[in-house]
Chains A and B, each alone.
Chain A
Amino acid sequence: MSTAMWTVKYAPKTLEEFVGNKQAKTAFYEWLDKWTPKNRWALLIGPPGVGKTTLVYLVANTLGLDVIEVNRENIGVSVTLEKLSETASTTATLFGASRKLILIEEVEVTLSAFTETERLFEVLKNTRVPVVFTMNDQDALYSNRKLYYLRQEYCTQIKFDRVRSDQIQGLLGKICRSEGVSVEQEVLKDIAENAGGDLRAAINDLQAVCSGEQVVRSSDINWVTRRDTQIYAYKTVLDLIRSQSIYTAKNIVTNSVADWDTIYAWLAENLPAYPKPPETIQECCDALSKASVYAYRADRFRVYEQRKFAEDFMCYAPQLLGEKPFRKLEFPLRLKYLSRSREIRMKLNALSAMLSDYLHTSENSYVDSDMPFIALFTSVDKTFSEWFERRFGPEAAKTIVRILDKGEHTPIE
């Protein structure tokens, strides 16, 4: 009986087997296949569990390269700057030596406590072997000064998206057939969607739900591995709003499997919308605001005892509204537009970073900076906008005009 985890056992063995992110796969293969020293670096950006590291090993393996991996735990310990510069300067064609590839995993994490980052990047600039970075947090690329080098033109960016749930579902089906488990499509669909585009998480959940079974029907699935707790939040919040005292409200929260943050978001969306006098709404929002202050302190200053106060005030907020007429609960806008506003912010950050490099200014504000002016120049002066696009690229040109675009803030479906 195999004891490998399914995420390992069913990792792709060939490029054809690699699921999702087809464009990124092709782009990376071609980059590495045709690599010469002037190609220097590639940066693979994407959320957890979509196969960045897997792809690097897979392609390197296909092309016969040895991967030298640098990560948070070996950097500065077994992998030193000296060793890396030696590897980076060794010509690949040396007789008898195998070709190498330097992989710097989770670069924003790996370099976070490394004191020689600057020197490392300088060494790698003149690399004789391919250097690949992976990263989750695209924000870090613009907010983290140390990663300035990765924004330069000698670093090829390859972006990975969340894997489509139908693609995940297809792979889960294959795994089930190979394990000899008969699983209803409905179940696979549920697991795939629940994973939110994280293929690795989906495979972990599949192993949790199906291992040891012969037949799995949607009717006998008792969801113990839910990642997205939204559906629980809805019920919890309904109960909270109907509750009559802090005591019962607290019991509801402790017995719910929904995350605190999710419950909070639902309350913050819905409580202020009840038809009550402004003084009452103010008291209610004040309680929610105190809840959020305590929650912030708990996490930020690691004073976890403060969590209980956050919970108390969150539970108190619905009580303050008194008798409430029935109202349908709205899905929190902040959650609905989370990824969208993140994406816009990321583009603005990227633009801001680019402009501040060019204009020798700081990059901490969009409003109080040159950006609105440049946006104005771009939108009224055709010659200027053409120059801007040539100089900073089409993506930047599309982003800069958005700064003046009021429509950007109206919700879209």
Chain B
Amino acid sequence: MSSDEEMIWTEKYRPKKLDDLVGNDAVVLRLKQFARQKNMPHCLFIGPAGVGKTTAAICLSRDILGEHFREGYLELNASSDNRIDVVRTQIKDYARTTTFSGIPFKILVLDEADNMTPEAQQALRRTMEIYSNVCRFILIANYSNRIIEPIQSRCAVFRFTRLSKNDVVERLRYIAEQEGLKYDREGLEAIYDEHQGDLRMCINTLQSLAVLNKKVDKQNVLEVLGSVYLADISQIIDLSLEGKFNDARRKLQDVLYLKAIPPEDVVRQIYREIVKSGLPDKVKVEVLGYLGEVEFRLVQGSDGEVQLDALLAKMASIKK
């Protein structure tokens, strides 16, 4: 094995060409025509996580730009670069410099564009138009209602949907074969079920089983996911629901102060566990409703432990 071989499977098995994309056939068909014509409008890709929006953008760009992909392609993550001065400087500077010979235009991908402030989006409007002859934009977002109307007007809007169970399981099977893993279909389906079709998370799970040298079957899948998603948290939840508030709280303090897990992450994990749990909907919603409050107060800057203590006490007081 050469030392620079890609070690992270989500990258290693990221499709290189539009032809290799899984799912969303109708969208991919249109993108292939863009690639063939070497022309495209600005695009807005909408859809949930892990269905191939970014991959589609990369593949489309690679198909259009060919060997000049490296020079002609820029990807920015809007949630980390969402300030208006980024639009005014970085994006504009990239968009306006003229193209190299051999490519029709440069392509700028703005991932998580719905995390840009409305002001930053506003600043993008004219940039997209003025430099459209040298630079095309692909905006990627989870929710279209967070993209301002004038930007949507400037784009062709493509809606990506969840990958089907069959598509995901097939892809996982392909990777398992390539990597020489032992697997059964039930195991692959369990991976799909755990992540509700988010292919990225599915592949991560598959790789976890591989590095632990475990067969991909249902039991191992659940076991591995349990260890990745802090076993402590499910213990805290169980203790709380059993009414053992003090034990739960002690455990929580370990997590917060000894393991130094930020309270926001604890909330996220608790959320996952509660959603997955077999609790009746009524109880689930009661906990989730409180959890939502806790999360919001945390983000507003309130004391993390007290918020979570209150949550645990709430869970301990729920009558089942």
B40, B122, B153, B196: the one contacting A109 at CB < 8 Å is B122
**Inter-chain contact A259/B145, CB cutoff 8 Å:** yes
Tell me which residues from 22 to 80 in chain B have a Cβ below 8 Å from any Cβ of chain A. 26-27, 29-30, 32-34, 36-43, 46, 48
Known A73-B126, A209-B30: A3·B38 in contact at CB below 8 Å? yes
CB proximity of A53 to chain B, nearest CB, Å:
8
Query: Interface size on B (CB < 8 Å)?
Result: 67
Interface-forming stretch among B184-192, B201-209, B232-240, B289-297? B289-297
* Interface residue? B150 (CB, 8 A): yes
CB proximity of A342 to chain B, nearest CB, Å:
13
B32, B133, B144, B153: the one contacting A49 at CB < 8 Å is B153
**Inter-chain contact A212/B36, CB cutoff 8 Å:** yes
Interface-forming stretch among A4-12, A36-44, A125-133, A152-160? A4-12
**Inter-chain contact B150/A207, CB cutoff 8 Å:** no
Interface-forming stretch among A58-66, A269-277, A311-319? A311-319
**Inter-chain contact A312/B288, CB cutoff 8 Å:** yes
CB proximity of A390 to chain B, nearest CB, Å:
38
**Inter-chain contact A225/B268, CB cutoff 8 Å:** no
The answer for the CA separation of A246 and B275 in the assembled complex, in Å, is 9
**Inter-chain contact B289/A290, CB cutoff 8 Å:** yes
Tell me which residues from 323 to 366 in chain A have a Cβ below 8 Å from any Cβ of chain B. none
Identity of the chain A residue whose Cβ is nearest the Cβ of B299 in the assembled complex: A303
A53, A112, A212, A259: the one contacting B37 at CB < 8 Å is A212
Interface-forming stretch among B155-163, B166-174, B212-220, B244-252? B155-163
CB proximity of A286 to chain B, nearest CB, Å:
10
**Inter-chain contact A257/B161, CB cutoff 8 Å:** yes
The answer for the CA separation of A120 and B203 in the assembled complex, in Å, is 57
The answer for the CA separation of A303 and B300 in the assembled complex, in Å, is 9
Known A106-B122, A309-B288: A6·B41 in contact at CB below 8 Å? yes
Identity of the chain A residue whose Cβ is nearest the Cβ of B198 in the assembled complex: A254
The answer for the CA separation of A207 and B154 in the assembled complex, in Å, is 12
**Inter-chain contact B158/A294, CB cutoff 8 Å:** no
* Interface residue? B87 (CB, 8 A): yes
Contact size range, A? 35 or more
The answer for the CA separation of A203 and B132 in the assembled complex, in Å, is 15
**Inter-chain contact A306/B33, CB cutoff 8 Å:** no
Known A113-B119, A257-B159: A224·B37 in contact at CB below 8 Å? no
* A249-268 interface code vs B (CB 8 A; 1 in, 0 out): 00100110101110000000
* Interface residue? A297 (CB, 8 A): yes
Known A211-B33, A211-B39, A246-B281: A297·B157 in contact at CB below 8 Å? no
The answer for the CA separation of A155 and B240 in the assembled complex, in Å, is 67
Residues from chain A with Cβ under 8 Å of B105 in the complex: 3
* Interface residue? B104 (CB, 8 A): yes
**Inter-chain contact B150/A72, CB cutoff 8 Å:** no
Identity of the chain B residue whose Cβ is nearest the Cβ of A251 in the assembled complex: B196
**Inter-chain contact B34/A254, CB cutoff 8 Å:** no
Query: Which of B26, B126, B132: most chain A Cβ within 10 A?
Result: B126
CB proximity of A246 to chain B, nearest CB, Å:
5
**Inter-chain contact B161/A255, CB cutoff 8 Å:** yes
Residues from chain B with Cβ under 8 Å of A211 in the complex: 33-34, 37, 39-40
* Interface residue? A213 (CB, 8 A): yes
Query: Which of B26, B146, B152, B157: most chain A Cβ within 10 A?
Result: B157
**Inter-chain contact A227/B38, CB cutoff 8 Å:** no
* A298-315 interface code vs B (CB 8 A; 1 in, 0 out): 010111111111001100
* Interface residue? A91 (CB, 8 A): no
**Inter-chain contact A3/B39, CB cutoff 8 Å:** yes
**Inter-chain contact A204/B41, CB cutoff 8 Å:** yes
Known A225-B158, A297-B296: A308·B271 in contact at CB below 8 Å? yes
* Interface residue? B92 (CB, 8 A): yes
* Interface residue? A402 (CB, 8 A): no
The answer for the CA separation of A71 and B125 in the assembled complex, in Å, is 9
* Interface residue? A208 (CB, 8 A): yes
**Inter-chain contact B34/A8, CB cutoff 8 Å:** no
**Inter-chain contact A204/B285, CB cutoff 8 Å:** no
The answer for the CA separation of A16 and B312 in the assembled complex, in Å, is 70
Residues from chain A with Cβ under 8 Å of B126 in the complex: 71-73, 105-106
**Inter-chain contact A112/B119, CB cutoff 8 Å:** yes
* Interface residue? B183 (CB, 8 A): no
* Interface residue? A231 (CB, 8 A): no
* Interface residue? A23 (CB, 8 A): no
- 18 A-B contacts (beta carbon < 8 Å): A1-B38, A7-B41, A49-B154, A109-B123, A136-B149, A204-B153, A207-B41, A212-B36, A212-B37, A222-B26, A223-B26, A254-B162, A287-B285, A301-B296, A302-B117, A305-B264, A306-B295, A309-B291
Residues of A within 8 A of B (CB): 1-8, 47-49, 53, 71-73, 77, 105-106, 109, 112-113, 136, 198, 200-201, 203-205, 207-209, 211-213, 222-227, 245-246, 251, 254-255, 257, 259-261, 287, 290, 294, 297, 299, 301-309, 312-313, 316, 319
10 shortest interchain CB distances as A-B pairs: A212-B33, A309-B292, A208-B156, A222-B26, A3-B104, A48-B153, A49-B153, A48-B150, A71-B126, A257-B159
Residues of B within 8 A of A (CB): 26-27, 29-30, 32-34, 36-43, 46, 48, 84, 87-88, 92, 104-105, 115, 117, 119, 122-123, 125-127, 129, 132-133, 136, 143-146, 149-150, 152-159, 161-162, 196, 264, 268, 271, 275, 281, 284-285, 288-289, 291-292, 295-296, 299-300
In the complex, given contacts A213-B33, A305-B295, what are 4 additional A-B residue pairs having Cβ atoms less than 8 angstroms apart? A224-B27, A225-B30, A225-B157, A313-B285
